[in-house]
């Protein structure tokens, strides 16, 4: 770390503390050459995830869109907002763990459906009906039958 006062390249760390609710580290440093003290912050570089939509357009991933979709699917269901926020966080974490800068909206939709299947089956079918664009009642029945088979 270069000293901001004299430009010398060697410093020693005097104190290290968590900052910004654990999202960064604050370090108090002292220059070996001029003995002046200064503070630095280390933060994880946050590379945004880009979502590739069905029509080929790209936009930055917005977890609020996922949360809003979950809220609609779980309307009047015994699922708390806290549970939906946890699911949203899990999905975002899984997307970041893929280490891909671009992800298709289909991948996100499948992740949401996987999480909903375990959380609330009615909400799962609601979300699937919109996401997979069910055309008729037979498509609904096939999805419900597949869900029933999976539960046996």
Place of tokens 């060697």: 10
54-58, 69-73, 111-115, 125-129: which range is least confident on average? 125-129
The mean pLDDT value for 131-141 works out to 79
| pLDDT tens digits for range 27-59 | 999 999 999 999 999 988 778 899 999 999 999
pLDDT at residue 133 in the model: 77
In a domain, 131, yes or no: yes
Residues 96, 81 share a domain = yes
Helix axes 121-131, 63-73, angle to 10 degrees: 120
Judge whether 2 lies within some domain.
Answer: no
DSSP code for 77:
S
Q: pLDDT tens across 52-83, in order?
A: 999 999 999 999 999 999 999 999 999 999 99
Whether 112 contacts 121, CB under 8 Å? no
Same domain, 139 and 78: yes
Same-domain pairing of 20 and 65 = no
Is the same domain home to 75 and 38?
no
Per the structure, the count of domains in the chain is 2
Q: Does 125 reside within a domain?
A: yes
Answer yes or no: is 85 within a domain: yes
pLDDT in tens, 90-107: 999 999 888 889 999 999
Let me know if residue 6 belongs to a domain.
no
The domain of 33 spans 11-43
- Cα 33 from chain centroid? 44
Of 118-122, 125-129, 140-144, the one with minimum mean pLDDT is 140-144
Give the CA angle between residues 143, 93, 109 to the nearest 5°. 25
- Looking at the DSSP bridge assignments, the partners of residue 90 are none
């Amino acid at each position: 770390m270069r000293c901001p006062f004299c430009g010398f390249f060697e410093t020693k760390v005097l104190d290290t503390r968590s900052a910004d609710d654990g999202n960064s580290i604050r370090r108090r440093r002292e220059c070996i050459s001029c003995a002046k003290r200064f503070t630095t912050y280390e933060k994880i570089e946050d590379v945004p995830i880009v979502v590739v939509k069905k029509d080929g357009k790209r936009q930055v991933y917005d977890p609020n869109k996922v949360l809003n979709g979950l809220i609609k699917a779980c309307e009047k269901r015994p699922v708390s907002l806290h549970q939906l926020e946890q699911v949203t966080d899990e999905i975002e974490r899984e997307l970041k763990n893929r280490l891909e800068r671009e992800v298709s909206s289909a991948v996100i939709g499948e992740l949401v459906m996987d999480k909903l299947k375990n959380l609330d089956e009615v909400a799962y079918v609601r979300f699937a009906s919109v996401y997979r664009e069910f055309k008729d009642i037979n498509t609904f029945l096939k999805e419900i039958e597949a869900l029933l088979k999976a539960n046996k």
